[in-house]
Structure 1
Amino acid sequence: MSETISVEESRQLDNKTINEIGIPSMVLMERAGLKIYEDMIHNDDLDLSNTLILAGTGNNGGDGLVVARLLSTHGYKVSILTVGNPDHASDDHKKQQHICDYYEIPKVFLNERFDNYTTLVDALFGSGLSRNVGGDFATVIDKANASDAKIHAIDIPSGLNGDTGEVMGTAIEATSTSTIAYAKEGMVKAAAKPYTGKIFVDDIGIYKGLVAETK
């Protein structure tokens, strides 16, 4: 696997790409969503005939909403479960939800039966989670793990510490993970393997230097 980075390095690279280089965050989100969608449709471990997006209200959830739209517009059955207060959603998340509403992608609620789905997409948290998971998020993670559906995680399985690979209360047990730009240091530790599954590293135009790394 290519070079890994810390959570803080990931945050700094995001900020540099958006604020110094000038690539808008929505452009990066669209690129990420497309790469994740491509990882999923080429992953024979996933059955995408009925997919549920588990979306937090931050930009990780926004990436999940892009995936929802791409699945829907390419003929796959997909629904969205938003976890957290939509009034506190990031600006890019709100824009992506508006687009999903335009395409009339169905929404479901916390009482939804996850066993009705073939694949769940974990878009609850990004790599910057700094405290143990609780409340509805913990309930959804445990419910997802207990279901028969396969799980594909975005950036890092929710509940996994991006630096140490430790479980923060509870964590998604993913079949596969699409991580953005670089794998995070905690993801490649032995203890994290049962949670990350197969890791895809997605190039969306965020680089440590002036060019992409050669593999």
Structure 2
Amino acid sequence: METISVSEAKQLDDKTIHQVGLDSIVLMERAALSIYDDLTHNNGWNLDNILILAGYGNNGGDALALARILFTHHFNVTILPIGFKDNASEENKKQQFSCDYYHIPLTTADADFSQYTTIIDGIFGVGLSREVSNDFATVIEKANQANVPIHAIDIPSGLNGDTGQPMGTAIKATSTSTLSYVKTGMALDAAQPYVGQIFIDDIGIYKTNTFNNE
């Protein structure tokens, strides 16, 4: 299994956007479509009632794009925004706009997570550099205790992408759709209780040495 570090993941994102010329919103849409396929082409998922945990970064933007795709394919979807709206990335704001257009229902952290049949984790991506605390930790622990299968986007929120260790706390996912490459920490033994089954989704981000011309 080929893996990349967190710093490599960031460098590849930057290269793809600024050198290759693929807009970040395009990558976000590709990610969401790939995750949609992971969920709908595997019979183990009960998608009758889906809770989307969406932070305000680009991981949350992936989650919101997925919410829109699921909703427009007639799945029952509810979004739980987590974090500080003022800190939303530009891509996240665009995805919020499209979710608002479709009037996708929102909920709060007070909701009963056990009423859902699937939880999608889009709180944090690989860029998390601090211990998880406050409302973030509360929501992660609540999701873990809900006895509902969780599917993580790119990496389970709270898991360190290099060490495979939880940063205070982390989502314990049933499965994870990791984008382009498995992150180094996800392949370590310490991470196995958190990552579950791993799907590797090709969204158009490639290492330079994949090709002969660069």
Unaligned runs of 5+ in 1: none
1:87 offset after TM fit, Å?
1.7
1-structure distance, mates of 2:43, 2:164 = 26
3-state SS, counterpart of residue 178 of structure 1: strand
1:191 offset after TM fit, Å?
1.2
Letter in 1 for 2:5: S
Alignment TM-score, normalising by the size of structure 2: 0.96
Other-structure match for 2:182: 183
Other-structure match for 1:57: 56
1-structure distance, mates of 2:107, 2:42 = 25
> CA 1:191–1:210 in structure 2 vs 1: closer, same or farther (change >3 Å)?
closer
Q: Deviations over 1:55-113 (max 9, x none)?
A: 00000000000110111011110000000011210000000010001111000011111
Other-structure match for 2:34: 35
Other-structure match for 1:143: 142
Other-structure match for 2:99: 100
2-structure distance, mates of 1:89, 1:38 = 26
Native 8 Å contact 1:118 1:148 kept in 2: no
Alignment TM-score, normalising by the size of structure 1: 0.96
Other-structure match for 2:65: 66
Other-structure match for 2:75: 76
Letter in 1 for 2:60: G
Identity %: 61
Letter in 2 for 1:117: Y
Q: Deviations over 1:147-190 (max 9, x none)?
A: 02110000000111000001110010000000001000000001
Q: Which moved more, 1:140-149 or 1:43-52?
A: 43-52
2-structure distance, mates of 1:73, 1:141 = 27
3-state SS, counterpart of residue 108 of structure 1: coil
Unaligned runs of 5+ in 2: none
3-state SS, counterpart of residue 46 of structure 1: coil
Letter in 2 for 1:36: I
Other-structure match for 1:126: 125
Runs of 4 or more consecutive aligned structure 1 residues displaced over 4 Å after TM superposition:
none
2-structure distance, mates of 1:155, 1:143 = 20
1-structure distance, mates of 2:66, 2:36 = 6
Native 8 Å contact 1:178 1:202 kept in 2: yes
RMSD: 1.0
1:43 offset after TM fit, Å?
2.3
Native 8 Å contact 1:13 1:207 kept in 2: yes
Other-structure match for 1:154: 153
1:211 offset after TM fit, Å?
4.5
1-structure distance, mates of 2:41, 2:162 = 28
